[in-house]
Amino acid sequence: MEAVKMTLSIFSRQQKIRLLPFVISTIFFLLQPYEQSSVIGAFFKIIPIISLIGYVIVTRSQFPRKTKTINAETLIPEDIYSFCVMFGLCVSLIGDLLVACPYLIVPGGFLFMIVHLVYFTAIEVSGRHKGCSSSFAWLFVLLFLNTWLCTQANIDSYFLKILVLLYYVPLFLAGWKACAAAEDSPDDKAIMMACVGASCFMLSDFLVIMDHTGFPIPFAEFLYMLTYFGAQFGWAVSTSTL
């Protein structure tokens, strides 16, 4: 039991080695000279996500449950939380390819709405936080409204204003759910990493929308991609941190 915990810990040497492909590919993408909308740029963009998918599969397929011995015959995580996170990463992979094309941004955004709902579901069905109990739910409601009011000011189309509003709903639900779970279990490193991931996602998507609506943000592309990879990193490693 104890050996499994040490192997699954994000702080173990083995887990750090497994994260090297993600770290290297993320640094390369952030420094590479290609446009995100180019074929080469889109290719390098999805490599870090593929690395995280591999990280979750390798980690959780070897140790599907805390009390189960090694199971190398399956590549699908058996615990529901890790499976949901892996599924969310896979949907993100497709979404990244779609948003790289200017004509497919809306379908790509829809896929990321699904990603946020999947992450929300992961916490709910895994029992990390059930129901609507939270001491700061009203803070997320205010944050949701203020964020939308801030971003919609630069949008002329009422249709797009509504789309942005709808997009923010699952994004902030996932953020609230992760923070509520962290409130319930403050010593749980896994859920704390999920909370970090959800927070980075809210910041990343806010920067993306502000940048695409013409609001001047210095180094906007670098910042929202950095926080995006940080978000996916947080959710991925939350499957192994104990």
The per-residue pLDDT for 100 is 83
The pLDDT, as a whole number, for residue 7 is 44
Q: CA-CA distance, 87 to 95, in Å (whole number)?
A: 12
Angle CA 6–231–175, to nearest 5: 100
Residue with tokens 């497919």: 104
Q: What is the pLDDT along the chain (242 residues), one digit of tens a residue?
A: 343 444 456 666 677 788 899 999 999 998 876 776 677 878 889 999 999 999 988 876 555 444 444 444 556 666 788 889 999 999 999 999 998 887 888 899 999 999 999 999 999 888 777 767 777 788 888 989 999 998 888 888 898 899 999 999 999 999 999 998 888 888 888 889 999 999 999 999 999 999 888 788 888 889 999 999 999 999 999 988 65
User: Within a 10 A sphere around the Cβ of 56, how many other Cβ atoms?
Assistant: 25
Distance CA 151, CA 178 (A): 23
User: How confident is the model at residue 61, as a pLDDT?
Assistant: 54
Buried-exposed string 61-83: b where 16+ CB fall within 10 A, e elsewhere: bbbbeeeeeeeeeeeebebebbb
Q: Which two tokens stand for residue 22?
A: 């993600």
The radius of gyration of the chain from alpha carbons, rounded to an integer in Å, stands at 18
> Rounded to an integer, what distance in angstroms lies between the CA atom of residue 49 and that of residue 76?
17
- pLDDT at position 67 is 44
The rounded distance, in Å, linking the Cα atoms of 34 and 64 is 39
- Annotated domain spans of the chain: 2-237
CB proximity list for 154: less than 8 A, separation 6 or greater: 210, 213, 214, 215
pTM: 0.85
**Structure tokens belonging to residue 192:** 């704390």
Q: Report the pLDDT value the prediction gives residue 6, as an integer from 0 to 100.
A: 42
Q: With beta carbons less than 8 A apart as the criterion, state whether 135 and 81 touch.
A: no
Q: How far apart are CA 182 and CA 39, in angstroms?
A: 39
| DSSP labels, 134-175 | -TTHHHHHHHHHHHHHHHHTT---HHHHHHHHHHHHHHHHHH
pLDDT of residue 113: 95
pLDDT at 11: 60
Quote the CA–CA distance of 5 and 68 in Å, as a whole number: 11
